[in-house]
Amino acid sequence: MSHYYDEKDLEKFQEMGKYRADLFDNFMNYYQGVMAAGALTVREKALIALAVAHTVQCPYCIDAYTRVSLENGSNLEEMTEAVHVAAAIRGGAALVHGVQMHNVAAKITM
């Protein structure tokens, strides 16, 4: 194995159902239910998934949801904004933990 990630591995996702197929089937039913149109459209859900993909930094998910977003009529402006939302929340989450740092520092310093 020359590298850990191979784009063709995404097509092998079903292999995860080889053992404990019941758990995999439960996951897939849930997954498909979540991603189907509901109060949010498929297009909106794909943009959320794209943002989350960047947050969890999953190359499979980024590949998949870039395609799904384009295949649902989104454009690069919208998709880039979605990634900025992910970046802003990640950055904000880091920054807000600075309050913890202040708390700890206040506790142990004079």
Residues that bind other proteins (CB under 8 A): 41-43, 67, 70-73, 75-77
37 vs 89 by CB, closer to other proteins: 37
The residues near 70 (Cβ < 8 Å, ≥ 6 apart) are 79
Is residue 52 within 8 A of residue 79, CB to CB? The reply is no
Nearest distance from residue 45's CB to other proteins, in Å?
Answer: 12
Nearest distance from residue 67's CB to other proteins, in Å?
Answer: 5
**What percent of the residues of the chain are helix, what percent strand, and what percent coil, each to the nearest 5?**
80, 0, 20
Q: Cα–Cα distance between 51 and 19 in angstroms, integer? A: 30
Q: Cα–Cα distance between 82 and 9 in angstroms, integer? A: 25
75 vs 103 by CB, closer to other proteins: 75
Closest CA to 79 of 63, 103, 93, 92: 63
55 vs 83 by CB, closer to other proteins: 83
38 vs 73 by CB, closer to other proteins: 73
Nearest distance from residue 51's CB to other proteins, in Å?
Answer: 19
Nearest distance from residue 105's CB to other proteins, in Å?
Answer: 48
